[in-house]
């Protein structure tokens, strides 16, 4: 079995030969990566190979793509694939396609090549490395066939790197310690849904909705609790529905009495028709770590609390961060009277699930008992994906300003009212959308974002000038001063637009949430652990809200982002990640946990 040490000691020619099957018919890739030896970790080797491709010419990258065979194509039928490609296609049953499936793939291959000029490339062993089903391969093929060429070229290269990653694991006999179980647990939870389920709450793997205190939500909580107990934790459900698992500190390791706790975790509820990893990764990943520590008989010098927060998304009662805000002592009791779409109050839903709403204030944590809160989360965006990096250290969670804007003009006949005499509410709305895009684009990539996510013309008709329009406004930034300056400019711009167009307007504030900066000392420790794993430290803000925002009210917080696949999409069934990324994130967090108090400074 080849080892990383073996690869570091080989001369360049032997190194290239040993890695000849990793990138399809492209020995120039390991040849260019060889100069970066020695590699301290497998992650560093993977990154060096990836960088060799990134630094290559456009023609070289295109040649790399064209070196790959079509899926179930002529080379597969003729038996002329490389051994690696033969095994990969067989793992997904592409060697056992029916005549109709072969015909469909042949048609897709031809259309794809004609559109893009290179073959469709997909790591058919999939996110887990165990193989995708043929129906999923065909569905992905059809979806990507509709992409633009630049985006598809980038995605094809990402798939090449994923194929290489799986092949390197096989060459070096790598067995991922954490990733496969994390992925398997996420799949198991993803099958429990409010949508399309039977009476037990068991849903399909295609529609995942898990709203607060529904039967599916309660089944998910029960499963998390069972896994936590099996991993060696003491577990309880608190009054708001959080699942709290404690991995107790080693006796006598802190002068404090009792020892303080480091908290980690995330939420287990989902949006409607959501993804399997949003929130849940941040529970399952530390769960896998605790199970590993428990199996080794290893204790940390502090309590480690893994928390499955019961609600963050606001789907059922339209109020977010219920679980984490309760732990932070910020739960608003008035929310207990909120009603869902069926008229059920939050209070009644909690009581039906066996919780005591009156006990919610008592679950608030004393800041003096806490060492901090660290949350692992999928990025829910494309930054890490486009940089080719598995992990990123979050610098701050963006604050958000949200508004509902009502515009009142004058409806009139579309054929008889001259353009200069119109009071068109939709035209004003269109100008406002462009104002938001222009103003929020001034700050630089990712520093400030503005979105009009809802836009409606109530009672609109094809032959009537719109007299009313309604739109939402969401402006976010990791720096509150930057956000509030943009908000002021946009609101002033709305006033000016409406005055010029003779439109009455009303702006209703829906939300003001301050940014939550991550603690520099915790960021540095996470960054050091990332670098010890052989990856560069990259800091990036989070545009999405997370439970760490609520926890920042009572303790220092930090976040570790993991890469999203499929263009960085989240809150969507296409949300995906890989077992390898989950594994390296778990190893980084484990390193962070072991080093946490030793590196106190």
User: Boundaries of CATH 3.30.70.360 in the chain?
Assistant: 399-513
Class (C level, CATH) for 184-395+517-595: alpha beta
Q: Which residues of 90-101 are buried (b: 16+ CB within 10 A; e: fewer)?
A: ebbbbeebeeeb
Among residues 385, 380, 379, the alpha carbon closest in space to that of 560 is found at 379
CATH 3.40.630.10 occupies which residues in the chain?
184-395+517-595
Dump the DSSP string for 111-124.
HHHHHHSS-----T
Residue 120 pLDDT: 95
d(CA 212, CA 218): 8
Return phi, psi of residue 561, to 5°.
-95, 140
Q: Which residues contact 481 (CB under 8 A, 6 or more apart)?
A: none
CB 393 within 8 A of CB 530: yes
Reading the block at residue 436, the tokens are: 């938001």
222 three-class SS: helix
Helical H runs in 209-307? 215-230, 281-296
| CA angle, 57 then 61 then 66, to 5° | 145
pTM, full prediction: 0.90
Q: Among residues 527, 505, 516, which one has the least CA distance to residue 483?
A: 516
pLDDT < 70: residue spans in the chain: 73-81, 196-206, 254-257, 444-446, 599-601
Total residue length of the chain: 601
Residue 412: its H or E element:
strand 412-413
Architecture (CATH level 2) of domain 4-171: Orthogonal Bundle (1.10)
Eight-state DSSP code of residue 202: B
Kindly list the distances between the CA atom of residue 450 and the CA atoms of 120, 175, 186, 403, in Å, as whole numbers in the listed order: 35, 43, 32, 11
Class of domain 399-513: alpha beta
* Predicted pLDDT at 201: 40
* pLDDT at residue 76 in the model: 62
Q: Distance between CA 207 and CA 229 in Å, rounded?
A: 28
Burial of 575 from C-beta contacts in 10 A (0-12 / 13-18 / 19+): buried
φ/ψ bin of 140: left (φ > 0), alpha (ψ from -120 to 50), beta (otherwise):
alpha
Per residue, the 3-state secondary structure of 447-459, as one string, reads: CEEEECCCEECCC
Of 514, 593, 520, the closest CA to residue 556 belongs to 520
DSSP code at position 474: E
Q: How far apart are CA 578 and CA 378, in angstroms?
A: 11
């Amino acid at each position: 079995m080849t080892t990383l040490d073996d690869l570091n000691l080989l001369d360049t020619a032997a190194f290239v030969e040993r890695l000849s099957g990793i990138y399809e018919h492209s020995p120039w890739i390991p040849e260019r990566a060889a100069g970066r030896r020695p590699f301290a970790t497998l992650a560093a080797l993977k990154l060096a190979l990836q960088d060799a491709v990134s630094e290559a010419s456009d023609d070289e990258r295109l040649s790399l793509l064209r070196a790959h065979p079509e899926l179930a194509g002529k080379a597969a039928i003729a038996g002329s694939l490389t051994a690696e490609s033969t095994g990969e296609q067989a793992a997904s049953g592409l060697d056992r396609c029916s005549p109709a499936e072969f015909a469909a793939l042949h048609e897709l291959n031809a259309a794809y090549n004609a559109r893009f000029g290179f073959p469709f490339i997909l790591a058919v062993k999939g996110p887990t490395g165990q193989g995708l089903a043929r129906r999923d391969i065909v569905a992905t093929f059809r979806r990507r066939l509709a992409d633009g060429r630049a985006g598809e070229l980038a995605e094809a290269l990402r798939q090449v790197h994923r194929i290489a990653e799986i092949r390197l694991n096989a060459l070096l006999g790598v067995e991922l310690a954490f990733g496969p179980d994390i992925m398997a647990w996420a799949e198991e939870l993803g099958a429990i849904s409010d949508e399309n389920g039977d009476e037990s709450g068991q849903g399909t793997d295609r529609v995942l909705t898990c709203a607060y205190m529904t039967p599916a939500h309660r089944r998910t909580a029960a499963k998390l609790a069972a896994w936590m107990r099996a991993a060696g934790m003491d577990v309880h459900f608190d009054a708001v529905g959080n699942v709290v698992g404690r991995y107790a500190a080693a006796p006598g390791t802190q002068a404090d009495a009792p020892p303080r706790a480091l908290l980690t975790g995330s939420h287990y509820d989902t949006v409607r028709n959501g993804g399997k990893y949003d929130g849940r990764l941040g529970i399952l990943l530390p769960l896998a770590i605790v199970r590993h520590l428990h199996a080794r008989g290893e204790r940390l010098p502090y309590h480690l609390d893994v928390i499955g927060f019961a609600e963050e998304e606001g789907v059922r009662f339209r109020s977010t961060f219920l679980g984490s805000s309760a732990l932070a002592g910020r739960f608003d009791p008035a929310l207990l009277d909120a009603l869902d779409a069926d008229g059920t109050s939050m209070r009644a839903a909690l009581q039906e699930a066996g919780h005591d709403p009156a006990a919610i204030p008592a679950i608030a944590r004393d800041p003096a008992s806490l060492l901090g809160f660290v949350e692992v989360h999928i990025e829910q965006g494309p930054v890490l994906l486009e940089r080719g990096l598995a992990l990123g250290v979050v610098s701050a969670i963006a604050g958000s300003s949200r508004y509902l804007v009502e515009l009142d003009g004058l409806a009139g006949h579309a054929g008889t009212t001259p353009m200069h005499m119109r009071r068109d509410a939709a035209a004003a709305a269109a100008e406002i959308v462009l104002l938001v895009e222009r103003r929020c684009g001034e700050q630089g990539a990712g520093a400030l974002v503005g979105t009009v996510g809802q836009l409606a013309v109530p009672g609109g008709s094809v032959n009537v000038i719109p007299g009313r329009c309604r739109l939402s406004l969401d402006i976010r930034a990791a720096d509150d001063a930057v956000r509030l300056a943009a908000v002021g400019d946009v609101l002033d711009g709305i006033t000016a637009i409406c005055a010029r167009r003779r439109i009455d307007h009303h702006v209703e504030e829906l939300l003001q949430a301050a940014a939550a900066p991550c603690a520099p000392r915790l960021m540095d420790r996470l960054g050091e652990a990332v670098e010890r794993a052989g990856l560069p430290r990259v800091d990036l803000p989070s545009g999405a809200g997370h439970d760490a925002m609520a926890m920042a009210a009572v303790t220092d917080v930090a976040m570790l982002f993991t890469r999203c696949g499929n263009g960085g999409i989240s809150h969507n069934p296409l949300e995906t990640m890989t077992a390898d990324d989950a594994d390296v994130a778990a190893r980084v967090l484990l390193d962070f946990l072991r080093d946490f108090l030793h590196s106190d400074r």
